Amino acid sequence: MKPVQVGILGLGTVGGGTVKLMLQNTQEINNRAGRKVEIVQAAALDNSVLQKLDNCDIKFSTDVFDIINNPQIDIVVELIGGVDLAKKCVLKALQNNKHIVTANKALIATCGDEIFALAQRKGLTVAFEAAVAGGIPIIKAMREGLSANKIKTIAGIINGTTNFILSKMADKNTPFAEVLKEAQQKGYAEADPTFDIEGIDAAHKLCIMGSIAFGIPLQFDKVYTEGIDRITSQDVHFALQLGYKIKHLAIAKRTKKGVQMAVHPTLIPKDKLIANVDDVMNAVLIDADALGTSMYYGAGAGELPTASAVVADIIDVSRTLTTDPKNRVPHLALEPDKIQNTNILNMSDITSSYYLNIKVLDKPGVVAKITAILAEKEISIEAVIQQDTKNISSEYVPLIILTRKVQEKYMNEALLKITDLDVVFEYNKIRMEQL
Amino acid sequence: MKPVQVGILGLGTVGGGTVKLMLQNTQEINNRAGRKVEIVQAAALDNSVLQKLDNCDIKFSTDVFDIINNPQIDIVVELIGGVDLAKKCVLKALQNNKHIVTANKALIATCGDEIFALAQRKGLTVAFEAAVAGGIPIIKAMREGLSANKIKTIAGIINGTTNFILSKMADKNTPFAEVLKEAQQKGYAEADPTFDIEGIDAAHKLCIMGSIAFGIPLQFDKVYTEGIDRITSQDVHFALQLGYKIKHLAIAKRTKKGVQMAVHPTLIPKDKLIANVDDVMNAVLIDADALGTSMYYGAGAGELPTASAVVADIIDVSRTLTTDPKNRVPHLALEPDKIQNTNILNMSDITSSYYLNIKVLDKPGVVAKITAILAEKEISIEAVIQQDTKNISSEYVPLIILTRKVQEKYMNEALLKITDLDVVFEYNKIRMEQL
pLDDT tens column, A309-336:
999 999 999 999 999 999 999 999 998 8
pLDDT over threshold 90, residue A386: no
Enumerate residues 6+ apart whose C-beta is below 8 A from A361.
A395, A396, A397, A423, A424, A425
Give the burial string for B352-379 (b: 16+ CB within 10 Å, else e): bbbbbbbbbebeeebeebbbebbeebeb
**Which of B293, B308, B316 is opposite residue A298, by nearest beta carbon?**
B293
Q: How far is the alpha carbon of A126 from chain B, nearest alpha carbon, in Å? A: 16
A6, A13, A19, A32, best to mutate vs chain B, most B CBs in 10 Å: A32
Q: How far is the alpha carbon of B336 from chain A, nearest alpha carbon, in Å? A: 10
- pLDDT bucket at A392, cuts 50 / 70 / 90: low
Give the mean pLDDT of chain A.
96
Q: What is the pLDDT of residue B392?
A: 65
Residues A211-265 have pLDDT tens digits of 999 999 999 999 999 999 999 999 999 999 999 999 999 999 999 999 999 999 9
A22, A132, A273, best to mutate vs chain B, most B CBs in 10 Å: A273
Catalytic residues of B: 205
Give the burial string for B38-49 (b: 16+ CB within 10 Å, else e): bbbbbbbeeeeb
| CA-based nearest residue in chain B for residue A135 | B291
| Encoded amino acid at B415, one letter | L
Q: Cβ–Cβ of A312/B135 closer than 8 Å?
A: no
CB pairs under 8 A between A and B: 214
Q: Cβ–Cβ of A147/B311 closer than 8 Å?
A: yes
Q: How far is the alpha carbon of A157 from chain B, nearest alpha carbon, in Å? A: 14
Q: What is the pLDDT of residue A155?
A: 98
Q: Cβ–Cβ of A31/B276 closer than 8 Å?
A: no
Distance CA B85, CA A263 (A): 52
Q: How far is CA A157 from CA A224, A265, A274, B156, in A?
A: 16, 10, 8, 23
What number of other Cβ atoms are within 10 A of residue A81's Cβ? 19
Distance CA B38, CA A332 (A): 23
Where are any strands of DSSP class E within A132-257?
151-157, 224-225, 244-255
| CA-based nearest residue in chain B for residue A23 | B148
Q: How far is the alpha carbon of B424 from chain A, nearest alpha carbon, in Å? A: 41
Asked whether the beta carbons of A135 and A259 are under 8 A apart, the reply is no
| CA-based nearest residue in chain A for residue B319 | A327
Distance, CA of A355 to chain centre: 23
Enumerate residues 6+ apart whose C-beta is below 8 A from A422.
none
Q: How far is the alpha carbon of B273 from chain A, nearest alpha carbon, in Å? A: 7
**Which of B295, B304, B328 is opposite residue A290, by nearest beta carbon?**
B304
**Which of A215, A298, A315 is opposite residue B291, by nearest beta carbon?**
A298
Q: Cβ–Cβ of B327/A320 closer than 8 Å?
A: yes
**Which of B25, B149, B333 is opposite residue A308, by nearest beta carbon?**
B149
For chain B, residues with pLDDT lower than 50 are none
CB-CB neighbors (< 8 A) of B151 in chain A: none
| CA-based nearest residue in chain B for residue A340 | B31
Q: Cβ–Cβ of A291/B305 closer than 8 Å?
A: yes
B14, B32, B37, B306, best to mutate vs chain A, most A CBs in 10 Å: B32
CB-CB neighbors (< 8 A) of A323 in chain B: 320, 323-324, 327
Distance CA B395, CA B372 (A): 23
Report the DSSP beta bridge partners of residue A357.
A400, A428
Q: Cβ–Cβ of A311/B135 closer than 8 Å?
A: no
B357, containing H or E segment: strand B351-361
Q: Cβ–Cβ of A293/B295 closer than 8 Å?
A: no
Asked whether the beta carbons of B253 and B259 are under 8 A apart, the reply is yes
Give the mean pLDDT of chain B.
96
Q: How far is the alpha carbon of B275 from chain A, nearest alpha carbon, in Å? A: 10
CB-CB neighbors (< 8 A) of B311 in chain A: 147-148, 290
Enumerate residues 6+ apart whose C-beta is below 8 A from A167.
A278, A279
Q: What is the pLDDT of residue A391?
A: 64
- pLDDT bucket at A82, cuts 50 / 70 / 90: very high
Report the DSSP beta bridge partners of residue A153.
A253, A287
Q: What is the pLDDT of residue B395?
A: 84
**Could you tell me which of A216, A212, A219, A215 has the C-alpha nearest to residue A262?**
A219
**Which of A29, A34, A136 is opposite residue B294, by nearest beta carbon?**
A136
| CA-based nearest residue in chain B for residue A339 | B31
Selected catalytic residue, list A98, A205, A247, A253 = A205
**Which of A1, A276, A312 is opposite residue B273, by nearest beta carbon?**
A276
Q: Cβ–Cβ of A294/B298 closer than 8 Å?
A: yes
| Encoded amino acid at B267, one letter | L
Q: Tell me the helices (H) and strands (E) count for chain A, helix number first.
A: 15, 17
